[in-house]
């Protein structure tokens, strides 16, 4: 079988917010097993995106398309005041050089690939397209500990666990992971 070619499109915040229907539909497909938890509802996903993430400095999304079907997306933005993340890195990963003054950290906020298109390499393509040109030295993400497939992929792509955190009062506890972007 010939692997179809994934078309990658970059969007700023305004462009991302125009993708409500395909983003929300894909989010639901990839979180079906979490729909009994209000935190993972499509309404809360969109509210976080619209009210918290998209207004952030330099917010961006990459989406992977096969013709007119969105098969995956990833989005994020930098966080300027990231002292807490640098402190976690310092204690968990003593081999990672820490800047004297805390630098911005790129927050890899959301990532999803349609279950029908997982294990085709599209996730890695989206991951690399979002992070490839970032000027920050470090990226940070949160992942559910029970999401074994995602955790395994992140670890194989060079991410390292630095701790656990509950990002919102109604959110589950997540694994906190970092990836060194620049040498």
Identify the residue whose tokens are 């938890």. Answer: 37
What percent of the chain has a predicted confidence (pLDDT) above 90? 70
Q: Give the chain's domain count.
A: 1
What gap in Å lies between CA 163 and CA 93, rounded to an integer? 10
* Strands 138-143 and 174-180, sheet pairing: antiparallel
pLDDT tens sequence across 46-55: 999 999 999 9
pLDDT of residue 17: 98
Q: Where does 105-159 show beta strands of DSSP type E? A: 105-113, 138-143
Q: Is residue 2 part of a domain?
A: no
Range of the domain at 172: 7-180
Pair 4, 66: CB distance under 8 Å:
yes
Q: Is residue 1 part of a domain?
A: no
- Is the pLDDT at 63 greater than 90? The verdict is yes
- Considering the entire predicted model, what is its pTM? 0.91
Q: Is residue 128 part of a domain?
A: yes
Pair 110, 77: CB distance under 8 Å:
no
């Amino acid at each position: 079988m010939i692997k179809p070619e994934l078309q990658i499109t970059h969007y700023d915040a305004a462009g991302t917010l125009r993708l409500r229907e395909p983003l929300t539909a894909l989010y639901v497909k990839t979180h079906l097993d979490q729909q009994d938890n209000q935190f993972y509802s499509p309404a809360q996903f969109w509210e976080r995106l619209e009210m918290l993430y998209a207004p952030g400095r330099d917010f961006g999304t990459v989406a992977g398309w096969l013709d007119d079907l969105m098969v995956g997306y990833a989005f994020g933005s930098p966080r300027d005041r990231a002292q807490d993340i640098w402190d976690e890195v310092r204690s968990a990963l003593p081999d990672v050089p820490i800047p004297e003054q805390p630098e911005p950290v790129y927050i890899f906020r959301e990532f999803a690939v349609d279950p029908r298109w997982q294990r085709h390499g599209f996730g890695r393509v989206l991951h690399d397209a979002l992070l490839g040109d970032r000027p920050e030295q470090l990226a940070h993400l949160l992942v559910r500990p029970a999401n074994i497939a995602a955790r395994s992929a992140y670890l194989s792509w060079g991410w390292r666990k630095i701790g656990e955190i509950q990002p919102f009062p109604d959110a589950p506890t997540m694994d906190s992971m970092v990836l060194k972007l620049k040498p």
